Amino acid sequence: MKDVVGISSLNVDYIYESEDLSFLEPFYPEGGYRRQWVLTDSREIEKLKIILKEKARLISKTGGGSGANTVFGLAKMGFQSGIVGKIGRDAEADFLIQEMKIIPYHHLARDQWSGQALILLGPNRDRTILLVPNANRTLAWTDLDLDFIRSFSIMHLTSLLGEGLKLQERLAREMSGRVRISFDPGEVYVRQGLSRLTPILSRCEILFITEKELEILTGLPRPESVSVIQSAGPQIIVIKKKGAGALVVQGAKTWDLPAEIIRAKDTTGAGDVFAAGFLAGLLKGLFLPDCGRLGLSLAGQSMMGLGRAAYPGKEDLELALIQL
């Protein structure tokens, strides 16, 4: 069997930087600022793009999407990976295909316009992400090649807008017992509540989640929230701690893994590369804490460039394995 297939949004990431992000305030979602939110009003999107030209500087254009980043990272490290999702019939789609040419793209569905992510880096290099979903919202069951998905040993699920969560729930049921399932819901999904995610959580083996997402999902402090999530089904819970490493939990065992302090150029996708490194460790049969250490090492390297520019390759993986 091949290694990992991602069921994911696919975006063109436009990365901007600005010393003052106060111009975003009129676009905040109901309830105030969030690190990540979704834009669907075409007039609002065009207005924002005009303001971005005036108030911010475009510094990078790269392929994106959480699961797409993870399987791209795995492919760069020499693993057989695949991607399932939906792109447009536009210039952005051509760009995405070129960006991901090391991964088979023939199983991608098509719609009119490709998804975009407008990523703003503030003075402290913190990210604000505004998602323009476009084709990602229309991925349907009839777009999926189930035989292709079954040819992989791990299916990695990340957030999809529109009916994406329902589609992934059905896919988790169909694939349960056939492939190992990993799940990185992201803030978009966790804000929908624990009951909405339980059908996937009950079937997934590995859950990747940040400390903030864990708090949003359960409304509880970390020790209690971990117990709640464990009761929902995941065998392995990997908690990403912003700038401070990761916590790996399996049953009653917990490993608190520190991260090396680095001066990051861009943290976009670092969590996705961490997931790629962790899954790479699992595929190589490493002890769970070593999977976490491998993920942290490779994620740290990815932050030294913009977008996917510094994603680790085969030699980087081999070096990181030696250094464990």
Instruction: Residue 153: count other Cβ atoms within 10 Å of its Cβ.
Output: 17
Residue 27 maps to a domain: no
Average predicted confidence (pLDDT) for the chain = 94
Residue 301, pLDDT above cutoff 90: yes
Tell me the residue range of the domain where 174 lies.
2-11+65-112+135-323
- Residue 44 belongs to a domain: no
Domain contains 122: no
Tell me which residue of 50, 76, 33 sits closest to 269, measured CA to CA.
Answer: 76
pLDDT band at 125 (very low <50, low <70, confident <90, very high): low
Does residue 171 form part of some domain?
A: yes
Please list, in sequence order, all residues whose beta carbon lies within 8 angstroms of the beta carbon of residue 112, skipping any fewer than 6 positions away: 88, 89, 90, 134, 135
For residues 106-114, average pLDDT? 93
pLDDT at 124: 74
Flag the least confident range among 196-200, 248-252, 266-270, 290-294: 266-270
Residue 125 covered by a domain: no
> Quick check: 99 pLDDT over 70?
yes
Q: The domain that contains 282 carries what CATH number?
A: 3.40.1190.20
Token code pair at residue 176: 């349960």
In a domain, 58, yes or no: no
User: Nearest to residue 123, comparing CAs of 213, 46, 20?
Assistant: 20
281-297 burial: b if 16+ Cβ within 10 Å, else e: bbbeebebbbbbbbbbb
Which residue from 136, 26, 137, 18 is spatially nearest to 83, judged by alpha carbons?
Answer: 136
Average of per-residue pLDDT across 73-102: 96
Question: Per the domain annotation, does 256 fall within a domain?
Answer: yes
Please count the structural domains in the chain. Answer: 1
Q: Is residue 52, in this structure, part of any structural domain at all?
A: no
What per-residue confidence (pLDDT) applies to 243?
Answer: 74
Please give the average per-residue pLDDT across 248-263, as a whole number.
92
pLDDT in tens, 174-210: 998 899 999 999 999 999 999 999 999 999 999 999 9
